[in-house]
Structure 1
Amino acid sequence: MALYLVTGGCGFIGSHLCAALAARGDAVRVLDDLSTGSRDNLLPGAELLQGDVADAALVRSAMQGVAGCFHLAAVASVERGVQDWLGTHRANLTGTIAVLDAARAGRVPVVYASSAAVYGEQHILPIAEDAPKRPLSAYGADKLGCEQHALVAGHVHGIATLGLRFFNVFGPRQDPRSPYSGVISIFCDRLARGEPVTVFGDGGQTRDFVHVADVVAALLAGLDAASTAAPVLNVCTGRATSVLDLAHAIAAACGRQADIRHAPARAGEIRHSLGDPTGARALLDLEPKVGLRQGLEEVVGWLARGRPGLAAEAAAREPVT
């Protein structure tokens, strides 16, 4: 049994990763400050170190004895980056450097979350990994900085890393009440309750929605692909869905008609974001397995069950004796 560190392990993606590690027989240590993650999502039996990922001493302690590190802790809100530029920078970039620095002693491989936000607005689609990097937010700039420091980690310190540029991740446990949630969880929540949804602009903007199970598969496979060359890959489907089509698909999954209200377009919003999954397919031997319709039905079902966290879901699966 190997022990793995998951930073942000009480969050949306992190909790799914922890469950997958446990399912294959691994032990899990979680580092999370619970600012956006929830204790309800802590894997039963996992060790929790509650604290700041930018706390170098705490991260060094968390890294002791682990076979690998999955670094997911971050402040992903673009708006939070506007309001608290320095604070989000500390969590997102200083936190990553703290993780890489702690990995030096034991040469611990690190798979870390980057983001499609590093690309900004692109005119050539789909977006391949070598596309120009034009981040339009502090979050995107910090994630690009993480990639640059991963290069330093490999070149100077001999640390094997792999960065994964997540596109629009969705799935159960993405809290629709959180200001950090994506459009799918918010639309699912409102349409399931028969409430209208707000579409900004004409709704023709498109996104590449990737299910959390496919993201977890990339994270797990990524540990073996980590190297001192610091590769970075897109995690996406290569399929675009407009916001309007998404709203109608979610309404269908809820058994309702979509009640759509339009609001003025948001300034600076990227019109089209579509990733090229070729790199991940080649290096990780992965294909997305969960389609949008199936994934939407899972989210609607999770909402219908009362939004259980990982701990509650694990308890519900325990056999009755």
Structure 2
Amino acid sequence: MAALALITGGAGFIGRHLATALLRRGYQVRVLDSLIEQVHGGRTSPSGLDPAVEFVAGDVRDAEAVAKALSGATHVVHLAAEVGVGQSMYAVERYVSVNDCGTATLFQALIDAPVKRIVVASSMSIYGEGLYRRPDGATVEDAARQNRRPGEPWDPTDAEGRPLAPIATPEAKSPALASVYALTKYMQERLTLTLAPAYGMEGVALRLWNVYGPGQALSNPYTGVLAIFASRLLNGQPPMIFEDGEQRRDFVHVEDVAQAFVLALEHPAAVGQVYNVGSGEDRSVREVAQLLAQAMGREDIAPEVTGQARAGDIRHCIADIAKIRRELGYAPRRDFAEGLAELAAWVAEQEAVDRVADARRELEARGLVA
């Protein structure tokens, strides 16, 4: 009998791609998802899921729904979560409830119905600022930006005021939890790695960088930055970039992320481990906005660089993916330019409600943008 993989939050962007990948691997696949309006736009049934996937409607905090979804499962991928640093700083109860109480509800059910392995989606946000190097070559784990005055650099500096250079961040870097979202993702990670072995299960955590690709929720102003930029451009509006646009990130295609989850579910070496999942390449947010505009044929729309900072944001965080390459054989396959072209082609066939300005006003009203 084929293994049965349950994906919580599996009707979302990553979950749909992962479900397809698992079906190809011979798994039976079941999805538990509450289809929240912010992500699914008021749909009452999932969109884009392979017809072979069994769908269970329900909230991950609902013990009865979770028990139903777990029946017969041999593997779990836990994706169900509220996502977004900015929104987490004011929707505190919602984020903690879904992300942490939801994970607790899942594990409460797993105590009575254990599976072979559970893989949880963690986040690069748990690092806070990434790893940096001082001018003398020494690495800095605890870089932090002080209250910035107009005209001062955005980048962290050393004690002498010299700029620090961002370098790739490995899993060994200590967490620096700078947002409610980061706090909740770290809690999900630790619950998984603590409780799984206590009950005879295998636990793995994947720290995801900026995931992009076709199928992302274009009308959700707190989703991945490329989807937010695409929504703005599709509506003839400039991508909105905070700070000066030179903050650096790693953008990883959703198919490569699905590959990482499959490896984490199957590889013997993954048990009890934490892995970064990225592309191994970093780019500035401004550069990415310009490249996406070109891919969408909207070079005439220049990004709007606000010069403002959001509470909870960090400056640079670059993925070191050496560990997952070495131990699991992970190899990113999707070229960024090709991925952008694919995303642009998909976006051209979509409609999106641009809610970015509303989200910015919400943050400003709460004093979370300065």
- The TM-score, its normalising length taken from structure 2, stands at 0.78
Tell me the distance in 2 between the aligned counterparts of 1:178 and 1:228.
Answer: 33
Residue among 330, 334, 341 paired with 1:290:
334
Aligned counterparts, 1:136-147, within 5 A: 136-147=178-189
Aligned counterparts, 1:127-206, within 5 A: 127-192=169-234, 194-206=236-248
Work out whether residues 150 and 230 of structure 1, in 8 Å CA contact, stay in contact via their aligned partners in 2.
Answer: no
SS in 1 for 2:275: strand
User: For the structure 1 residues 28 and 181, does the alpha-carbon distance in structure 2 shift closer, same or farther, using more than 3 Å as the test?
Assistant: same
Give per-residue Cα distances to partners, 1:157-216, cap 9 Å, x unaligned.
Answer: 222011000011111111221123222112223335543222222211111111100000
Tell me the distance in 1 between the aligned counterparts of 2:307 and 2:239.
Answer: 14
SS in 2 for 1:20: helix
Tell me the distance in 2 between the aligned counterparts of 1:80 and 1:198.
Answer: 16
Task: Give the residue type in structure 2 aligned to 1:184.
Answer: L
Tell me the distance in 2 between the aligned counterparts of 1:227 and 1:52.
Answer: 32
Give per-residue Cα distances to partners, 1:275-304, cap 9 Å, x unaligned.
Answer: 100111122101111121111111111112
User: For the structure 1 residues 202 and 83, does the alpha-carbon distance in structure 2 shift closer, same or farther, using more than 3 Å as the test?
Assistant: closer
Determine whether 1:80 maps to 2:92. Answer: no
Tell me the distance in 1 between the aligned counterparts of 2:351 and 2:116.
Answer: 35
Aligned counterparts, 1:1-321, within 5 A: 1-35=2-36, 36-37=39-40, 39-104=46-111, 105-124=113-132, 125-192=167-234, 194-225=236-267, 230-257=272-299, 258-268=301-311, 269-306=313-350
Deviation at 1:2, TM superposition (A): 2.8
Tell me the distance in 2 between the aligned counterparts of 1:57 and 1:260.
Answer: 47
Work out whether residues 114 and 201 of structure 2, in 8 Å CA contact, stay in contact via their aligned partners in 1.
Answer: no
Work out whether residues 269 and 328 of structure 2, in 8 Å CA contact, stay in contact via their aligned partners in 1.
Answer: no
User: What residue ranges of structure 2 are gaps of 5+ in the alignment?
Assistant: 133-166, 353-370
User: What residue ranges of structure 1 are gaps of 5+ in the alignment?
Assistant: 309-321
Tell me the distance in 1 between the aligned counterparts of 2:65 and 2:296.
Answer: 44
Range moving further from structure 2, 223-232 or 148-157: 223-232
Tell me the distance in 1 between the aligned counterparts of 2:191 and 2:268.
Answer: 15
User: For the structure 1 residues 215 and 307, does the alpha-carbon distance in structure 2 shift closer, same or farther, using more than 3 Å as the test?
Assistant: farther
Range moving further from structure 2, 185-194 or 167-176: 185-194
Point out the structure with the larger helix share. 1
SS in 1 for 2:76: strand
- The TM-score, its normalising length taken from structure 1, stands at 0.89
Q: Sequence identity, in percent? A: 36
Tell me the distance in 2 between the aligned counterparts of 1:228 and 1:243.
Answer: 32
Paired positions, count: 308
Tell me the distance in 1 between the aligned counterparts of 2:316 and 2:335.
Answer: 20
SS in 1 for 2:319: coil
Range moving further from structure 2, 44-53 or 111-120: 44-53
Deviation at 1:81, TM superposition (A): 2.0
User: For the structure 1 residues 2 and 168, does the alpha-carbon distance in structure 2 shift closer, same or farther, using more than 3 Å as the test?
Assistant: same
Tell me the distance in 1 between the aligned counterparts of 2:267 and 2:97.
Answer: 28
- Larger radius of gyration between Structure 1 and Structure 2: 2
Task: Give the residue type in structure 2 aligned to 1:147.
Answer: E
Work out whether residues 131 and 317 of structure 2, in 8 Å CA contact, stay in contact via their aligned partners in 1.
Answer: no
Range moving further from structure 2, 34-43 or 217-226: 34-43
SS in 2 for 1:233: strand
